[in-house]
Amino acid sequence: MTATTASATASSPLGHNRTRPAIFIDGEAGTTGLEIRERLAKLPSVEVKSIDPEKRKDPKARQALMADVDLVVLCLPDDAAKEATALADELGTKGPRIVDASTAHRIADGWTYGFPEMDKAQAATVKASKRVANPGCYPTGGIGLIRPLVAAGLMPADYPVTVNAVSGYSGGGKSMIETYDKGTAPLFELYGLGLEHKHVPELQLYSGLTRRPIFVPSVGNYFKGMLVSVPLHLDTLPGKPSARDLEACLEAHYEGCKLVKVIKADDPSSKGGRLDALALNDTDMLELRVFGSDKHRQAVLVARLDNLGKGAAGAAVQNLCLMLGVES
C-alpha cells in the first residue's frame, strides 16, 4: 500500500511502569467519546484518565495528561485533532500513541488506516503503529465491499462505482443531532449532493479505485444504524462474474475475521429482499451481503453496521486494543 497506510512504530505498547495501559479520550464529552468511554469501562485491562472539565480546552493541561498516558483517542473536530497531535508530537519520545477518530489524518502520510480487516496484514500494521486514523463509518462499509473485488481482479480499479448509504443521525455531529432532538429535521434526506463529501478520498484510496466514486449519503430520522450499498451491472465486470462469484470473493477475503461476516444469499435473514438498518445496533459487527439476479445480470452489494459501533467507537476500541496488546 501507499505511505498513508504505514506509520512510525512504537517500541513498546506500555510505558510509565504501569501494570495496565492508561488512555486519555480527548473530547470524551462528544457522542463518539461517550461511546468509547462506555466500552472502555467494561475493559478491566485498561485505565481511563480524564481531564478536569474546566481544563478541557487548556493545551498545557491536555499535554500534561498526554505525557502521563500510553494512548490518546482524539474525538475532536478536524482542526482540533491536528492541534492535539501537534501537542503530542512536542512530547517527543514521551508522547503517547494516538487513535484519531476525526477525518483529519485518514489519508495523511505517517498514519495507519485503522481497518484491521482491510487485508491480511493490516491488523499487524495497526498493532505496530504509533498513529492510527479511525475509518469513517460510510467508508467502512464501502471499502469492506469494494476492496476485495478490486484486489481479486473482479472489479477494475477504474470501474465507475456508485455508493449509496443511509445512516442514523448520530453520525452527523452535534448540530445535526440537535435538529433531530428538537424535532425540526425531516424524516429522511439526501445530503452531500455537491459531490464533495469528506469521506470520498479515503473511500477511493483504500478501496483501491483509481476513478473517483460517486457517493450519495442520506440520513434517516433514527439515532443509529447504517446500510451502505453498491449496485453493479455484472456484465460490465471482467469475466462477467455471477453474484455468487462476488460472494465467494468476499468470503475468502474475510475468512476467520471476528467482526466482519459475509452473510450468504441463502441465509434466512437475506430472504425477502429487505434489510433493517438498525439490526446491528449496539454491536461492533460489520455484515456484508450480495443480492443478485441471474435473470437480469445485476447485483447489489450491501454492508450493514452500527455507525457508532464498527463505524466509530467500536472501531476505535478495536484499534487501541490491538495497539496496546490487550483483549477487547
Domain-by-domain residue ranges, the chain?
A: 3-135+312-324, 137-307
CA distance 281 to 36: 15
Quote the pLDDT of residue 16.
Answer: 58
Query: Which one from 75, 137, 249, 321 is the annotated catalytic residue?
Result: 137
Q: For domain 3-135+312-324, give the CATH number.
A: 3.40.50.720
Strands (E), the chain: 22-26, 47-49, 71-74, 97-100, 112-113, 131-133, 162-168, 188-190, 214-220, 226-233, 260-262, 286-293, 298-305
Low-confidence ranges of the chain (pLDDT < 70): 1-18
CA distance 73 to 97: 9
Residue 212, CA distances (Å) to 10, 55, 135, 185 in order: 34, 42, 18, 30
Kindly state the cell numbers that stand for 133.
Answer: 486514523
Inter-residue contact 135 to 114 (CB < 8 Å):
yes
Predicted confidence (pLDDT) per residue in 202-248, tens digit: 999 999 999 999 999 999 999 999 999 999 999 999 999 999 999 99
Q: Tell me, yes or no, if the two domains 3-135+312-324 and 137-307 fold the same way.
A: no
Tell me the pTM: 0.92
Quote the pLDDT of residue 11.
Answer: 42
Residue 26, CA distances (Å) to 53, 90, 176 in order: 11, 16, 21
Q: Residue 226's beta-bridge partner residues?
A: 167, 305
CATH of the domain spanning 137-307, picked from 3.40.50.970, 3.30.70.100, 3.30.360.10, 3.40.250.10: 3.30.360.10
Neighbours of 86 (CB within 10 A): 11
Quote the pLDDT of residue 6.
Answer: 46
According to DSSP H, which parts of 7-58 are helical? 31-40
CA distance 320 to 99: 7
Quote the pLDDT of residue 277.
Answer: 96
137 is catalytic: yes
Predicted confidence (pLDDT) per residue in 136-181, tens digit: 999 999 999 999 999 999 999 999 999 999 999 998 777 788 888 8
Quote the pLDDT of residue 14.
Answer: 53
Q: Residue 303's beta-bridge partner residues?
A: 228, 288
Quote the pLDDT of residue 53.
Answer: 87
Quote the pLDDT of residue 179.
Answer: 87
